[in-house]
Amino acid sequence: MHGLFCRHVHASLYEKFCQDRIRSDGSLSPGGLRLGERPAPAAAAGRSAAADVAPPAPPVSAAQLEQLVDFVHSSRRLLVLTGAGCSTESNLPDYRSPSGAYSRGFKPMTHQLFMSGPAAQSRYWSRSFAGWHQFSGVQPNAAHEALARLQRGNWAAGGFITQNVDRLHQKAGAAGVLEIHGTTHEVICMGCGEVTPREPFQTRLADLNPEAAAAVALAAVSSDDAGRLVDPGEDGGLQAARNPDGDVEVSRQPDGDLELPGGGEGFVVPPCERCGGVLKPNVVFFGDAIPPARAKLALAAAEACDALLVVGSSLMVWSAFRLAKAASGARARVAIVTAGPTRADDLAEFKIEARAGEVLARLAAQPELGLPRL
């Protein structure tokens, strides 16, 4: 019996894929991928598609930019706090903007549902497994690069906190980033607490779910610009693969999974090799709590800074809003760069409603910030 993914890929398309691309040793023909392997990162593709998910916003004005330069230049302990809006220009959707995941009806996995049993865990990991090859290949955009440059110049001496789980700040060269919501690049055991890298776990999932791995490879090498699976036509063109239950929609989400039909039925998830416990991504799911030590570090940074720069966050979740509130309570200046309303608009000295990449790239290029702060 075919597994989750193969049941939803048209039989002739799957057979053609197997015949044309899979060798007897389990590898794909030249130009393809080995089962479970992700394609090489495609930075250009991710950036050219930024308009698909980045919310529309007016350009930053000269007066706004000057105000932001003065804000950064006059601070001694600037703390930077980033959210999903910092990654939309890398073609990762946010949650709450008009083009965000919530507007498409996306419902993120909650901690309570994940821990409810194997069915929920299989559903989550099947989607996350399918989306990983794309999500892990996403590249930093101008916002990440500019913030890393400011940090190297000692213009963010108060620290660097992100709500994002994508590790794009680190890819851009930022150091010491406090990931308050964790990261999808690690896996944690809910029994013994061991944290391991994501890549070896992806390999385990591929080995246990070979048919799913084959279908994921098919999606990687045969997809159109919208992410739908396609079938190479006889004339070499690309046509949508029509299945009995509709095309397989490959829809990227902020946490890196893909919306695929089937509910994870039949997808095998291995236990922790150390203790046999349940494995989950090292991410704070909705309904879960930030580990106390991590929350304490973030709050201490907010209370110690003299200026807080919020980038790409609506601050609607308490874990982020409390940091803005704590900074303001400690008499730190607060500035916000994001498109759309935030929960801390009334705490901010000023707000710039523009795309983070444009604003921060121009900020980091200003002569006043060109030399490292002594």
The pLDDT score that the predictor gives to residue 215 is 84
| Best CA proximity match to 86, nearest among 338, 348, 349, 342 | 338
Residue 212 burial class via C-beta count within 10 angstroms: exposed 0-12, middle 13-18, buried 19 and up? buried
Residues of the chain with pLDDT under 50: 1-51, 223-252, 259, 261
Listed in order, the ranges of the chain carrying CATH 3.40.50.1220 are 58-92+140-181+289-374
pTM of the model: 0.78
* Residue 6 labeled ligand binder: no
CATH topology of domain 58-92+140-181+289-374: Rossmann fold (3.40.50)
All residues at 6 or more sequence positions from 173 whose CB lies less than 8 Å from its CB, including other chains: 145, 148, 149, 152
**280: part of which helix (H) or strand (E)?**
strand 279-283
The pLDDT score that the predictor gives to residue 220 is 65
Catalytic residue set: 181
The pLDDT score that the predictor gives to residue 217 is 82
| Best CA proximity match to 198, nearest among 123, 131, 118, 265 | 131
The pLDDT score that the predictor gives to residue 95 is 74
The pLDDT score that the predictor gives to residue 108 is 80
The pLDDT score that the predictor gives to residue 98 is 64
* Residue 86 labeled ligand binder: no
* Residue 305 labeled ligand binder: no
CA separation (Å) from 13 to 33, 85, 218, 295, 315? 17, 37, 9, 49, 45
* Residue 272 labeled ligand binder: yes
Q: Which residues, listed in sequence order, are joined to residue 283 by a DSSP beta bridge?
A: 182
